[in-house]
Amino acid sequence: MVEMTRYCPDCGGDRLFEQHHAAQGGCPDSADGWCPEWLCTGCGAALFAGPAACPAGLTQAPGLLPGRRAA
């Protein structure tokens, strides 16, 4: 079981998170099998941590104006 402590916005404090698909290569949503999904052990809130997948050739999120950033 892979675990880490992070701030949980739903709980309002630092909580223990565990990886959703902890088995190496077990994530069906990722090409390399590494799972970016982490779940709060207190309330079940999801956190994505790690590199984000981006379609090839996409340089900017659709709908964003040049010079603006999305949070």
pLDDT tens digits for the chain (71 residues)?
578 899 999 999 999 998 877 666 667 776 766 677 888 999 999 888 766 655 565 555 555 555 555 54
Domain that holds residue 21: 3-48
pLDDT number for residue 69:
54
Which residues, at least 6 apart from 1, have a Cβ–Cβ distance to it below 8 Å? 18, 19, 22
Q: How many domains does the chain have?
A: 1
Q: Cβ–Cβ contacts within 10 Å for residue 52, how many?
A: 6
* Residue 54 is assigned to a structural domain of this protein: no
pLDDT number for residue 43:
94
* Residue 11 is assigned to a structural domain of this protein: yes
